[in-house]
Amino acid sequence: ETEAQRLDSMINDLLVMSRNQQKNALVSETIKANQLWSEVLDNAAFEAEQMGKSLTVNFPPGPWPLYGNPNALESALENIVR
């Protein structure tokens, strides 16, 4: 992991913490997991492409409804993918 990647991760974590502190409680809602995964994987594929690599993930169509905070779930998925 490069220094730039570590700094990017730390900045992302600080932004998430800041957002969460501004809201006393996380707001949960029903979201479509396949859309969430698609957005995270599109970002990861773009980052991989910038490093001369490719990322291909096949997953069955959803919608796979989830109940939770969209920002927290997206952050968790990004941390897993990275």
pLDDT at 32: 92
Provide the strand spans (E) within 1-82. Answer: 29-32, 65-68
Residue 25: per-residue pLDDT: 61
Contact 36, 74 (CB under 8 A): yes
Query: What pLDDT score was predicted for residue 31?
Result: 92
- Report d(CA 27, CA 47) in Å as an integer: 29
Residue 63: per-residue pLDDT? 82
Three-state secondary-structure class, residue 61: coil
pLDDT tens digits along 64-79: 899 998 888 888 888 8
CATH entry 3.40.50.1820 includes domain 1-81: no
Residue segments in the chain with a per-residue pLDDT below the cut of 50: none
Using DSSP bridges, classify how beta strands 29-32 and 65-68 pair: parallel, antiparallel or unpaired.
antiparallel
The domain limits of the chain are 1-81
pLDDT value at residue 53: 93
Contact 44, 73 (CB under 8 A): no
